[in-house]
Amino acid sequence: MTVFADQLLVLVMLINLVMLGSSRLIFSIRAVAVQGVILGILPGLIHPFSYHLAGITIGIILAKGVIIPYLISNAVRKAHIRREVEPFLGYVPTLLLGAVFTALAFVFAEKLPLAPEHRDLLFVPASIATLLIGFLLLTTRRKAISQVIGYLVMENGIFVFGLLLTEAMPVMVEAGALLDLLVGIFVMGIVINHISQEFSSIDTSRLRTLKEE
Amino acid sequence: MTDIIIHCLVALLIPPLLLGVIAKTKAAFAGRVGAPYLQPYYDLYKLLRKGSVFSETTTWVFRAGPIVTLAATLIAALLVPLGRHASPISFSGDMILFAYLFGLSRFFTTIAALDTGSSFEGMGAAREVTFSCLTEPTLFFALITLARMSKSLNLSTILTHPSPTAWLADGASMLLLAAALFITLLAENSRIPFDDPNTHLELTMIHEVMVLDHSGPAFGIILYGAALKLFVLGAVFINVALPIATGNALADWGIFIVAMLGLAMTIGVVESVMARLRLVRIPQLLVGATILSAFAMLLVLR
């Protein structure tokens, strides 16, 4: 089963790169939803079955695969934007940077003092790579919505790391983290709507100067 | 010995058929009957009988272009193993020769294009060189990954190494490699979505614009060379993507030929359902392919 989990983690890392290369927001949102669903399947592959596990799987697939993408795409529709135009750093450079980050994540994971049973799995490098790429998305994209997507990718990275500990993690903590994320996305969706209503643009680089009326 | 003879016969005779299959698939998608499967052979025969017109501004470089291109591609066809059989020529490190034979043929195509002094052909040459310097790392990363897997620098060993067991063990990296090699195959052979081999608008052409001034036998040689290049890179892809070996030599040849025709159909389907990419998007996709194969290497090196 761990071989299959590794293939899924490769898919997760590929989705990261796809998101770095795509300019269509709806496409990025779908990609992040697919990533969320994969993350939901993963715990079932590496841990033995329990009700706790089933609950986590369903909760994650619902939250990351359905509700959050729905909230963001709603915000996209209301703000009338389709594409990320002119990111701070172009798509090809970010793609290359993303590849370098992924490679560095592998190198870094080799150096970490991990438990022997986790050493040969892809979980740690995949989580670090996803985290770094989420960070890259957050910093290089101009639109508030792309930044929310970057934040989600970053959270997914943290989640992959947490997967190794699923057994030790109580349901309450898990549910709390998911709830935080949901509320966060909800608030960001509202904020984006307000920004686009007030300023007719959600380009965050224009939000630098304070204005008094 | 029989394998070598079959290798040469298959490599010499099958390539134009692939073009015919691609054209037929596209015609079927468009609801037309389409040209017969053997049309490329008729075209080649027609072109070889014709006379050539050479512009006065051209030099020997222009005449040498198609011939060197075809010769380099023919040698590459002798280096690549077909249908799980070792290739006629192989030595340690021939993967680098293999990659740079394409570089040589491309160099001669582009300087032959520049030799005409036409601004359109210069533009096509510039594009071809730009895109090929983005596909070359993809091919190299893929070959290095396979070399690492098979612990050999010999193209025959490298490309006959992939097997169903290798797919099960390193499924992820093999899948990445297959995807990267398919993108390289489309880009190197100037197929849609990178370039349209049937386009007749000089501004959008890449490969076709470079050969506008060639006529008669020279153009026939170019067409045949292009078909052969498709065949050779297709064989590399098939060796990685469909590593089926029955053990029976003749059955393996049969499987290989059927797989090549299937690949031609796949290319036809891709050309029918996809639109051409905008020129600015092409480098992005090519860099993406490079990253795929680099990622495959990363997974294998681990």
A96/B171 touch (CB, cutoff 8 Å), yes or no? no
User: Of B173, B176, B284, which is closest to A21 when you measure between CB atoms?
Assistant: B284
d(CA B171, CA A9) in angstroms, rounded, equals 12
Whole-structure pTM value: 0.86
Task: Identify the CA nearest to B18 among candidates B272, B265, B271.
Answer: B265
Cis status of the peptide bond prior to B193, with omega within 30 of 0: yes
- Residue A13 near chain B (CB below 8 Å): yes
- Residue B42 in tokens: 């008729």
Name every chain A residue with its beta carbon within 8 A of the beta carbon of B171.
3, 7
B133-174: per-residue pLDDT in tens? 999 999 999 999 999 998 889 998 888 888 888 887 777 888
- For residue A201, how many C-alpha atoms fall within 13 Å in the half-sphere facing its CB? 8
Residue of B nearest to A2 (CA): B169
User: Of A7, A91, A103, which is closest to B284 when you measure between CB atoms?
Assistant: A91
Q: What is the DSSP letter of A205?
A: G
Task: Identify the CA nearest to A129 among candidates A151, A100, A101, A162.
Answer: A101
B291/A95 touch (CB, cutoff 8 Å), yes or no? yes
- When scoring B170, B183, B279, B287 by the number of chain A Cβ atoms within 10 A, the one with the most, hence best to mutate, is B287
B205 phi and psi, to 5 degrees?
Answer: -75, 155
**Per-residue pLDDT at A67:** 87
Length of chain A equals 213
Across A51-60, A84-93, B19-28, B292-301, the highest mean pLDDT is recorded for B19-28
Asked whether this complex has an ipTM greater than 0.90, the answer is no
User: Of A3, A7, A21, which is closest to B288 when you measure between CB atoms?
Assistant: A21
Gap from A92 CA to chain B (nearest CA, Å): 6
Query: pLDDT per position in chain A (213 positions), as tens?
Result: 677 788 888 889 889 988 888 878 888 889 999 999 998 888 878 777 778 778 878 888 888 888 888 888 888 887 777 776 678 888 888 989 999 999 999 889 888 887 777 777 788 889 999 999 999 998 988 877 888 888 889 888 888 888 777 666 666 667 777 777 777 877 777 777 777 777 666 677 766 666 665
- Residue A168 near chain B (CB below 8 Å): no
- Residue A140 in tokens: 């290089």
- Residue B266 in tokens: 């796949």
- Residue A207 in tokens: 């939000």
Q: Which residue has the tokens 């090549």?
A: B260
